[in-house]
Amino acid sequence: MSVARDAQAADDGARPGRRPLLTATGLRKTYGTTPALDEADFSISPGEVVAVMGPSGSGKSTLLHCLAGIVRPDAGVVRYRDRELSAMPDAERSRLRRDEFGFVFQFGQLVPELTCLENVALPLRLGGVRRKEAERRATEWLERLEVAEVTRQRPGEVSGGQGQRVAVARALVTEPRVVFADEPTGALDSLNGERVMRLLTSAARDTGAAVVLVTHEARVAAYSDREVVVRDGRSRDLTREPAA
């Protein structure tokens, strides 16, 4: 990482808006012999909510994993604020995920042994924030996501909707620049799904976070600003293509 690039990145952070925050070009990823991504492109700007849609097995989740630096693509480049994410060593990508990204998944994301409060405080504590301070901020987020009542309970003792809102609180507690949400409402009924989406998108808009939202549900995708369709590992950004 050159000094010039770092300077550019800092500069980029200073003026949010038009410049893309996270871009991907020509991503390829194969699991075994099955191609999951095949020349996929993507881009998201600060504060933007982008829905990634497509049928199951189309490569949506793989795209998200590549964008978030969880998986290294076989080919192609992922850039985050002018730094090449796809070329970073694991430790650096981990740091980035800890400090600048947030995650919400469909299942099994809360640590079952920890209380909800401890779960939300966990990313802050992993980043070195002291326990008291971390739990104070976690409490604020739990309130903001309307789940203050489960603070002391364990994930196994709360409802699916509450659990998912706790997960959203955990994703947002570090005030990340990008939130990656993979089917965040997949296990919820409509009402709870709506509530999670409303809270997620409004909180993200308040903090200026960009949201990459993987979903196959149009009603969920309707909370986005724009959608990208992944089909057979290729992505299409229809919002950008002028309709015929």
Among positions 67, 96, 203, 210, the unique one binding another protein when judged by CB under 8 A: 96
Among positions 11, 84, 113, 189, the unique one binding another protein when judged by CB under 8 A: 113
| Nearest distance from C-beta of residue 229 to another protein, angstroms | 5
Binding piece for another protein, criterion CB under 8 A, among 9-17, 39-47, 53-61, 141-149: 53-61
State which of positions 130-189 bind another protein (CB under 8 A).
131, 154, 156-157, 170-171, 182
Classify 63 as helix, strand or coil. helix
- The DSSP string of 151-206 is TTS-GGGS-HHHHHHHHHHHHHTT--SEEEEESTTTTS-HHHHHHHHHHHHHHHHH
Measured CA distances, 178 to 46, 55, 175, 219 (Å): 8, 24, 9, 22
Output the CA torsion sign for 80, 84, 90, 95: negative
Among positions 7, 143, 189, 198, the unique one binding another protein when judged by CB under 8 A: 198
| Nearest distance from C-beta of residue 2 to another protein, angstroms | 24
- The DSSP string of 71-104 is S--SEEEEEETTEEGGGS-HHHHHHHHHHTEEEE
| Residue 39 touches another protein, criterion: CB under 8 A | no
| Nearest distance from C-beta of residue 15 to another protein, angstroms | 26
- Give the gyration radius of the chain's Cα atoms: 18
Among positions 24, 44, 50, 53, the unique one binding another protein when judged by CB under 8 A: 53
Residue given tokens 């309970």 in the structure block: 153
Question: Judged by CB, which is closer to another protein: 74, or 217?
Answer: 217
Q: What are the helix and strand counts (H, E) for the chain?
A: 8, 10
Structure tokens at 27: 């991503």
Among positions 30, 45, 94, 207, the unique one binding another protein when judged by CB under 8 A: 94
Classify 156 as helix, strand or coil. helix
Binding site for another protein (CB under 8 A): 31, 51, 53, 55, 61, 65, 68, 70-71, 91, 94-99, 101-103, 105, 107-109, 111-115, 118, 122-123, 125-126, 131, 154, 156-157, 170-171, 182, 198, 202, 217-219, 221-225, 227, 229, 231, 236, 238-239, 243-244
